[in-house]
Amino acid sequence: MATDSMEIDDALYSRQRYVLGDTAMQKMAQSHVFLSGMGGLGVEIAKNVVLAGIKALTIHDTKQCQTWDLGTNFFIWEEDLKNQRNRAEAVVHRIAELNPYVHVASSTVPLEESTDLSFLRQYQCVILTEARLSLQKVINNFCRSQHPPIKFISSDIYGIWSRLFCDLGDEFEVLDATGEDPKEVFISNITQSDPGIVTCLENRPHKLETGQSVTFREVNGMSSLNGTTHQITVVSPYSFSIGNTSTLKPYLHGGIAVQRKMPKTFHFESLEKQLRNPRYLTADFSKPEVPLQVHAAMLALDRFHTSRRRLPNIGCLQDAQELLKLTEAVSETLESKPEVDEDIVKWLSWTARGFLAPLAAAVGGIASQEVLKAVTGKFSPLQQWLYVDAIDIVEYSEQTNCEEFLPRGDRYDALRACIGDTLCQKLHHLNVFLVGCGAIGCEMLKNFALLGIGIGPEKGKVTITDPDLIEKSNLNRQFLFRPHHIQKPKSVTAAAAALSINPQLKIEPHLNKVCPATENIYGDKFYSTQDVIVMALDNVEARRYIDSRCVANLRPLLDSGTMGTKGHTEVIVPHLTESYNSHRDPPEEEIPFCTLKSFPAFIEHTIQWARDKFESMFSHKPSLFNKFWQTYSSAEEVLQRIEFGESLEGCYQVIKSLSRRPRTWSQCVELARIKFEKYFNHKALQLLHSFPLDTRLKDGSLFWQSPKRPPSPVQFELNDPLHISFILSSAKLFAAVHCIPITEKDLSEEAIQKILSEVTVKEFIPSNKIVQTDETARKPDQIPVSSEDERYAMTQLKKIICSGEATKSDLQMAPLLFEKDDDTNGHIDFITAASNLRARMYNIEPADRLKTKRIAGKIIPAIATSTAAVSGLVALELIKIIGGHPYEAYKNCFLNLAIPIIIFTETAEVRKTDIRNGITFTIWDSWAVYGKEDFTLSNFISAVKEKYGIEPTMVVQGVKMLYVPVMPGHAKRLKLMMHKLVKPSADKKYVDLTVSFAPENDGDEDLPGPPVRYYFCKGDN
């Protein structure tokens, strides 16, 4: 982002722009931030805010790099220890490399209570980490005294405990509290009453909340409402009140209520006040009392630090007792006087010297989002405290011997102080399979490197795979990549970057997808060697597939994902939890075919229509054209076959394309002009011919009423930029498909106007074609070709051959593959112009190029803050898995950093299915039957009964029914040998079958059973 012109580098920031919006991005690009403390938490915050694109960051630290830092700070390397560098000076250049648009400077001057703080006036936000409370209070008071106040944020990690505090001044105005798109509500009725009740269309809940505001437009009858804004009160999911409408004209039909984003003011108190009576965000509602208990214990920890000039010694019972007394004293000074929890105090005392890197990643992501809120006024800020802990890791651990936690003089001492040496060793000897090296994948690799996962001398390895290459838009979130890595493989590059964080790491990068086609690589044998599978994917189908492989191979699985500021984590543990496939999100709602084709109501409809037109004209039809001419070698052969009465699939469409094929740039422009008339003029005239404006339905209501919008024909105008944009973008794409060269002169305004002035456009002739109005009707697969069409095709083909326009080059096109991120290819230009012209035709609010690109390209909004947060939370769950923790220890998380909410919940406990007679199974159970060469289906059924005590009545292989008693001929199959029935490939040692059992009562459904793995020979498992 070039701050002098304030232009946003879309190639770099495109995914983040959809999260923050351009106004917030531009505010960020003018902001100066000061960050003190370059430990593991400070560097996390620095990484995230620099990736986001602030103008300048000053990092401050007075400490020298130590061995300890290698396991907490991913930008401190062994060379920094040898050269005895200051921590800020060691990392400044590595942080600066993350974003060329951000100026990063370092400072090493002492920052104390007596320091002259006037230098802070140049900053809009000050962040403190690793600072004593007394210093935090002094700096917070200074920040509050400025006009406008400097935004203040402080955060700390003490072992397995963390806290975050925000003070954005007495009054902090937010223009957009949620970041959600404004809701649009189609209206079916408005009463003449006090208050007036607005009812929305059937089956379309408004999803508004009391206190929100809406602006009305397109209301007929009660038209004085149009353009006015009203605060609403929710009456029901389908209605809301807006105040007195009794004096207005009666409502007739139509109308849309659009949610209006109103500014919201947040009020903050100083750190000093908040210490006594904290206002905090509750993250775990199963333990609502914990935040206050941790608050008291951390205040006591600061008192301990002040009096002893050190933190409590690791595992020291005497220090823990002293901290407990201090906590009890502190609790009495707080307004709420929280009960003291001895376990919290003990583990805070034992681990306070330690540092848990994944916890820093999670809190650092959250804190970074608060920094961005502070400098942009976008999203609701944290009020005012957040406490996140990892006590579940140690609470359920069997290792409580203090020797376990003592330092050994290596890079893992900070980690060891938190989780003990036994867990550290288990991490070192772990085999992990990471699928995906995008934003979450990069963050996960950083966590793995800091935790020392897979460094064991005999056992332990990280295997990663990703088939993608690095693109510029990745650099905004995937922090292991730099500009010189563009077009290099993600997995190989990420592996090398992870080794720079921890050279002890054993890592093997692959370039494969994980799917049925790669089961020769990632088969049962591979999964059996892996201890944990971690998914860092962005599509549901791949997640479902990997989940099924983990269930089949009894492997724990960790999943996470983000969408903008929202994120989720899910932990799946064999025999304890349900799997990813146990729950299904509702399918994405499809836009009805008739809506897309004739009756759009929203800009999303016109964008999808334009996207479909792109696919049809520039990709699908050219591909079919090429395929046809690969099947038939010449036009003469095709003509001969048609004349002999042969019906050739796709022939009519191909000959039509050949006869209309442009051969010059002028013809491309002419074709674009003809398409303009067809799509934006004739289409509207035809619809109004089929359904005049006064058309009424059987019940007497108007056909053209909300949500149906009557179209208005668009008259082509040479001086309308949108019209010319459609012509130019369409013509360029036609030229690309038909391999027609273009010069700069061809694109000049003069040249285009000359061509357009000579184009003859056919007059509109109405047809009697039936317009589809049924919303349940689907797009027809193929439009039938009439005999008249076939005769026309034959005539056209003869003309083409006679004119010599059926050469080898004429019988080939260059289909376009839609690419959203290449601004030079004109794909988004065409879709934007086509969509907005259609929107104009239907009186729909148009969308700018950025919004069009997001919707047409199905781009998932993304930002580094939420990515860092979820990856840290996943890594915490990984530690619990390798510790063999019980079900109660695991937590799933949903977060939305915009609001902000962070909710930890228990995982879904695995369900048991009863078959009968006490025989049960879960998704993690599978039965095994070992056969031999002459094993029959009858033998298989008997073997199941003998081994598991229940006889199957149905056997299925995938979708193939092997044995269903009521099916004709199936009884004979009982004597058939299994290998003939299932037909395995030569290298296959087993087959997975599904069995079910007869119900206890006639008429009931068959009882399901677990999967049964049938081995062809006894020694095959």
Helix, strand, coil percentages, rounded to 5, for the chain: 40, 20, 40
Asked whether the bond before 195 is cis by omega within 30 degrees of 0, the reply is yes
Question: Rounded CA gap, 209 and 200, in Å?
Answer: 14
Tokens of 619: 């990709």
Tokens of 158: 């003490």
SS3 annotation, 967-1018: CCCHHHHHHCEHHHHHCCCCCCCEEEEEEEECCCCCCCCCEEEEEEEEECCH
Amino acid at site 398? E
Q: C-alpha distances in angstroms, 277 versus 142, 269, 272, 335, 900?
A: 21, 10, 9, 6, 20
**The residue count for the chain:** 1021
**In 597-627, which positions are buried (b, 16+ CB within 10 angstroms) versus exposed (e)?**
bbbbbbbbbbbbbbbbbbeebbeebbebbbe
Calculate the dihedral angle through the C-alpha atoms of 962, 968, 969, 971, rounding to the nearest 10 degrees: 70
**In 525-542, which positions are buried (b, 16+ CB within 10 angstroms) versus exposed (e)?**
ebbeebbbbbbbbbeeeb
CA nearest 504: which of 463, 458, 456, 447?
A: 456
Q: Which residues are paired to 461 by β-bridges?
A: 431
Asked whether the bond before 741 is cis by omega within 30 degrees of 0, the reply is no
Element (H, E) at 749: helix 749-757
Asked whether the bond before 900 is cis by omega within 30 degrees of 0, the reply is yes
Cβ–Cβ < 8 Å for 896, 984: no
CA nearest 20: which of 913, 783, 898, 853?
A: 898
* Residue 682: DSSP 8-state: I
SS3 annotation, 790-810: HHHHHHHHHHHHHCCCCCCCC
Q: Which residues are within 8 A (CB) of 99 and not within 5 positions of it... i.e. 6 or more apart? A: 50, 51, 53, 475
Residue 594 falls in the annotated catalytic set = yes
Asked whether the bond before 148 is cis by omega within 30 degrees of 0, the reply is yes
Phi, psi torsion values for 952, nearest 5 degrees: -65, 145
Q: Are strands 103-107 and 161-167 parallel, antiparallel or unpaired?
A: unpaired
| Angle at the Cα of 75 from the Cα atoms of 71 and 81, rounded to 5 degrees | 70
Question: Rounded CA gap, 127 and 840, in Å?
Answer: 48
CA nearest 538: which of 866, 891, 877, 862?
A: 862
Q: Note the helical H segments in 29-114.
A: 40-52, 78-82, 87-96
SS3 annotation, 500-562: HHCCCCCEEEECCCCCHHHCCCCCHHHHHCCCEEEECCCCHHHHHHHHHHHHHCCCCEEEEEE
Judged by DSSP in three states, 250 sits in coil
Catalytic residue among 125, 594, 668, 893: 594
What would you report as the CA-atom Rg of the chain, rounded to the nearest whole angstrom?
34
- Burial-class residue 804 by CB neighbours within 10 Å (0-12, 13-18, 19+): exposed
Tokens of 40: 């593991």
* Residue 681: DSSP 8-state: I
Judged by DSSP in three states, 951 sits in coil
The contacts found for 624-633 with CB under 8 angstroms, 24 or more apart, are 624/650, 624/653, 624/654, 625/654, 625/657, 625/658, 625/813, 626/812, 626/813, 626/815, 628/654, 629/654, 629/811, 629/812
Instruction: Please list the active-site residues.
Output: 594
